[in-house]
Amino acid sequence: MPTILTHTAVPISLWIAFGKKRIPFQLLLLGIAFCVLPDADVIAFKLGIPYEHDLGHRGLSHSILFAFSLSILAYVLTRKFQVKARVLIPFLFFSILSHGLLDAMTSGGLGVGFLIPYSSERFFFDYRPIRVSPIGIKNFLTARGLVVLKSEFFFVWIPLFAASFAILLIRLLWGKKK
């Protein structure tokens, strides 16, 4: 996985790009929580479920079905936020799914089970510039941890922030013209 911190770059970028009027702050916080949630599946290791199992790490919790179901459930449970379904559902869906998409761009581990439960196949992208993060804080505070952060900075944070600020700028200029 990329580090937990880096998964949050996706909802934060969407928030910057589309603004707090469309994506209220509470929804951003929910998106941040949801985008790291799939890795709660590391508990599978403790339970003795193998990595390659559908319920193992990078399995069901990283699938398209999981992202979709959780977004719908969140919409039903948070209607008091009064955020439109056409904003809330895609925002949360993409925040959750982006976790697996980033994992599929890492240099190590097994691929991501996007299609579980329909297919147990694990996927990686051909282009995998993100260095896989060492598990555990002790292993992380080493030179390897620094290499990971550097790859995430260059291949996740910079491109996402550049894109979101570009969209923000276009929105502001567009708004002024009208």
Which residues form the interface with Zn ion (CB under 5 A)?
1, 39, 103
Q: At its nearest, how many Å lie between Zn ion and the CB of residue 10?
A: 13
Please identify which residue in the block is written with the tokens 């993409």: 94
- Is the preceding omega at residue 50 within 30 degrees of 0, hence cis? no
Nearer to Zn ion, 13 or 63 (CB): 63
Neighbours of 150 (CB within 10 A): 11
Q: At its nearest, how many Å lie between Zn ion and the CB of residue 133?
A: 10
Nearer to Zn ion, 16 or 70 (CB): 70
Nearer to Zn ion, 1 or 44 (CB): 1
* H helix and E strand count, the chain: 9, 0
Q: Can you read off the two tokens belonging to residue 53? A: 């199992």
In a 10 Å sphere around its CB, with 0-12 CB exposed, 13-18 middle and 19+ buried, how is residue 27 labelled? buried
Q: At its nearest, how many Å lie between Zn ion and the CB of residue 20?
A: 28
Q: At its nearest, how many Å lie between Zn ion and the CB of residue 158?
A: 21
Nearer to Zn ion, 16 or 35 (CB): 35
